[in-house]
Amino acid sequence: MCGIAGIISRRTPGVAPARPLLDKMLKTIRRRGPDGTGQATFRTEDFDVAMGHQRLAIIDLVSGQQPLGNETGEIQITFNGEIYNFPSLRKTLESLGHSFRTQSDTETIVHLYEEEGVTGFKQLNGMFAFAIWDNENKTLTLARDACGIKPLYYSQGPKGEFAFASQLDALLAVPWVSRAPDWRGLASYFFVDYADAPTTILESVRKLQPGCALVWKNGALSEPQWFGGLSSQAFDPADSEGTVQATLKARLSIAVERQLLSDVPVGVFLSGGLDSAVLLASYLEHRASSEVETVSFDYGSKHNPWELIAAERLRSHYMVAGTLIDATGI
């Protein structure tokens, strides 16, 4: 989990400059990325642009700081997430003449954008929310993964200004963002526990829809553009039960293996339920039990005690380490 934020302000008297506002926004989301902070600034004829990043280092711990640019620095990205197929994308992009200076998955997105623009995002296999500033074309492009795993909020001001962030509360530092409620978003929140994108609980803030990109240029926003995402790979009704089981297991194994791509240790949240038990078993196909750390939460009377018992039995069966966190106060 990292934090991204940015603001585009109009250069007119009496309007707060972009950089100090970005500082306030990044301070709000610092807990999302305690390993480092970075900023980049640009200018257009009428606007100041500032984008920043709060980093939680997962891949390329040494040289993966953001915002990160292409060879010329004309294209810059601030990115939250992980791209699982970046090694294969990197090989393709290198064959096209692109030069990489880091080992991070982030840089792959920059060069992919250079080659194919928004349409290239459909090749990304991962969870992500990012913003790309194209200094040659003076455009800001936002994008979010097809499942909507990583959040991305934005707001447009009355004079073409624009701001985005990983968290809604970071946008409260922006002068034109009001606290007036969005009743449709509030109704969604109270009925289904979340505000359905593109609405939020605030009238002046929107949430980018999953699998979509949004482009700002010279004070104007494009309509959200679907760039692709989830593909339908249904099982053949004629398949036997054994074939379906083998196919499902193989797909699950590939998905779990991709999640293990990291330069820091990866653990498993173990509730004792079926889903986390299956994930742990699949994890152990790729790692020795001595390398695996599990974490469970004890909610006291709010929690089903049988789940903790099941979690402990799973740890004992697979001979993996475990940590129990007291969450009774939550």
Instruction: Write the DSSP string, 60-111.
Output: -TTT--SSEE-SSSSEEEEEEEEETTHHHHHHHHHHTT----S--SHHHHHH
pLDDT of residue 236: 75
Paired tokens of 211: 């699998």
E-only strand ranges, 161-313: 162-165, 206-207, 212-217, 220-221, 225-226, 267-269, 293-298
pLDDT of residue 59: 62
pLDDT of residue 135: 95
Q: Which residues of the chain have pLDDT under 70?
A: 14-16, 58-63, 229-235, 301-304, 329-330
pLDDT of residue 317: 92
Please, which residues have CB within 8 angstroms of residue 330's CB and are 6 or more apart in sequence?
299
Q: Which residues are bridge partners to 181 per DSSP? A: 202
Q: Which residues are bridge partners to 51 per DSSP? A: 6, 40
pLDDT of residue 313: 92
Distance of CA 252 to the CA centre of its chain: 21
Closest C-alpha to 166, from 207, 110, 134: 207
pLDDT of residue 14: 65
Cis peptide before 13 (omega within 30 of 0): no
pLDDT of residue 290: 82
User: Is 2 in the active site?
Assistant: yes
Q: What is the pLDDT of residues 147-179, one digit of tens each?
A: 899 999 999 999 999 999 999 999 999 999 999
Among residues 1, 2, 261, 262, the one annotated as catalytic is: 2
Closest C-alpha to 316, from 267, 274, 266, 280: 280
pLDDT of residue 60: 59
